[in-house]
Amino acid sequence: MNSYLLKNAHLYINHQFENVDILIEDGMITKIEKNIESDVPTYDLKGKMVAHNFIDMHTHLREPGFEHKETIYSGTMSALYGGYGTVVAMANTLPCMDDLETIADFKKRVIKDGQVNTYTYSAITKDLKGKELVDMAHIVEEDIVLGFSDDGKGVQSDEMMDLAMQLASNIDSIIVAHCEDESELHGGCIHEGHYAKEHDLIGINSASEYKQVARDLEIVKHYQNRYHVCHISTKETVELLRQAKKDGLPVSGEASPHHLILTEENIKDCHPNYKMNPPLRSIEDHQALIDGLNDQTIKVIATDHAPHAREEKNKPIQDAPFGIIGIQHAFPLLYTYLVKKNLVKLETILDALTTGPAHVLRLEGDVKLGQKANLCIFDLDKEFVIEEDDIKSKSINTPFLGVKCYGKIVANIVNGKMTEMEEM
């Protein structure tokens, strides 16, 4: 059971590629060598790429409370088909993940329905209201909780964030920050750039993000706590993070595939599938994100997979909710738009999907002998089109429908169990 031999794999291991066979016995990786012989079922990969399956440290699973958008089952099924072996759910559910009871209930649901390894963040403040801290010291004891995040909202009060970071430092946990200074918001729906101007839409300025990042980094200097910036979208944020890392602070940051691939120039017909928070920014911001990925300032790519039902998104851009789905096609899109266009090396993308987030969250992200098999198999040359019918999410809010991609996921092995998406 769960024993098989993968012949002729192009394996990404220890930050480089090797042509090897991989033996998996009882779900464990027991041999990585050339020319392995065994009588277990054998798959000839004919040089297909194999890597540790991906870790998404920013997924909205929507359950409990918003099951019409997504459920733990449908969200983790999207992850499985996207080559992910691990996701971390955001706390903005209903009820909010802000107490032990809700978190215990989430854990029960994950055991029943989770298709990949599923963790969650706890909220930082009760109901994400920014007024009262959750019981961080007790919540951190739960093994399903990997950190604290009020994602969806920035923590506005300086005193509250100061207290949260101090506690995070005491309990050696991480603050995963959605940075958004509400005093800079004026009801905008897309970036405050020329598209907003031309279409008479209210813009969201860059300062709403980087001002709060700058504030937080000052607090980190004081407590030296683990701190991670969500969905970086502005060039100023990239520079702040670069400097903080130079200063030796224990900080990290993520970029999402849509910010790495699209800019405000790509928005079409004021369509709400181009509306996300933070918004698609300018060409200069996009270049700064690519540079940040290439110089290791940004070591994590996280999807911010944010499902919304059709009727919710089917509104004028001003009224539609923020966010797009993204976990199922993150890799093929990144491969097609960044690697094939020579903007970013394949190794950099793979690191940002595996060892990068693993390092931040203290998980395993590299392929090692003796560990449970968590591997994904890809056909980099296989061309396909993203079709609505193939989407595993309950929602279809993505600007990438109908887009031609390369880098199809052929199979995903999660904790030794293989799911085949394509005939091997």
* Positions at the binding site for substrate: 60-62, 92, 277, 308, 322-323
Stretch that binds Zn ion, among 9-17, 113-121, 304-312, 406-414 (CB under 5 A): 304-312
Q: How many helices (H) and strands (E) does the chain have?
A: 13, 18
d(CA 32, CA 91): 39
Stretch that binds Zn ion, among 73-81, 120-128, 176-184, 393-401 (CB under 5 A): 176-184
Which amino acid is located at 18 in the chain?
E
Site string (139-168) toward Zn ion, x via CB under 5 A? ------------x-----------------
Out of 304, 312, 351, 379, name the contact with Zn ion by CB under 5 A: 304
Judge whether 70 and 85 are in contact, CB under 8 Å: no
Stretch that binds Zn ion, among 7-15, 43-51, 300-308, 311-319 (CB under 5 A): 300-308
Q: In whole angstroms, how close is the CB of 336 to Zn ion at the nearest point?
A: 24
Q: In whole angstroms, how close is the CB of 294 to Zn ion at the nearest point?
A: 24
Interface size with Zn ion, residues (CB under 5 A) = 3
Q: In whole angstroms, how close is the CB of 56 to Zn ion at the nearest point?
A: 11
- Give the E-state strand segments of 236-333 in sequence order: 251-255, 300-301
Cβ-based nearer residue to Zn ion, 178 or 329? 178
Q: Which of 181, 285, 304, 351 is catalytic?
A: 304
d(CA 338, CA 260): 8
Query: Cα separations (Å) of 206 from 56, 236, 237, 303, 401?
Result: 25, 8, 9, 20, 28
Cβ-based nearer residue to Zn ion, 151 or 192? 151
Beta bridge partners of 413: 375, 418
378 exposed, middle or buried (CB, 10 Å; 0-12, 13-18, 19+)?
A: buried
Bond into 316 cis (ω within 30): no
Q: In whole angstroms, how close is the CB of 90 to Zn ion at the nearest point?
A: 5
Query: Cα separations (Å) of 98 from 68, 136, 148, 334?
Result: 22, 9, 9, 33
d(CA 47, CA 12): 12
122 exposed, middle or buried (CB, 10 Å; 0-12, 13-18, 19+)?
A: buried
Active site residue 172: no
69 binds Zn ion per the rule CB under 5 A: no
216 binds Zn ion per the rule CB under 5 A: no
258 binds Zn ion per the rule CB under 5 A: no
Out of 48, 178, 191, 286, name the contact with Zn ion by CB under 5 A: 178
Q: In whole angstroms, how close is the CB of 256 to Zn ion at the nearest point?
A: 9
Cβ-based nearer residue to Zn ion, 122 or 412? 122
Q: Which residues are known binding-site members for Zn(2+)?
A: 58, 60, 151, 178, 231, 304
305 binds Zn ion per the rule CB under 5 A: no
Judge whether 92 and 59 are in contact, CB under 8 Å: no
Q: In whole angstroms, how close is the CB of 277 to Zn ion at the nearest point?
A: 6
Q: Which residues are known binding-site members?
A: 58, 60-62, 92, 151, 178, 231, 277, 304, 308, 322-323
DSSP state of 316: -
Residue whose beta carbon is closest to Zn ion:
178
Cβ-based nearer residue to Zn ion, 216 or 304? 304
Strands 49-52 and 4-13: parallel
Stretch that binds Zn ion, among 29-37, 174-182, 251-259, 307-315 (CB under 5 A): 174-182
Which helix H or strand E contains 331, and what residues bound it? helix 330-334
Cβ-based nearer residue to Zn ion, 61 or 251? 61
Stretch that binds Zn ion, among 73-81, 172-180, 331-339, 353-361 (CB under 5 A): 172-180
Q: In whole angstroms, how close is the CB of 230 to Zn ion at the nearest point?
A: 5
Judge whether 206 and 240 are in contact, CB under 8 Å: no
Going 358 to 173 to 298 to 154, the CA torsion angle's sign is: positive
Cβ-based nearer residue to Zn ion, 6 or 61? 61
d(CA 155, CA 205): 18
Judge whether 120 and 89 are in contact, CB under 8 Å: yes
Phi, then psi, of 367 in degrees rounded to 5: -85, 125
What residues are labeled active site?
Answer: 304
Residues engaged in binding Zn ion (CB under 5 A):
151, 178, 304
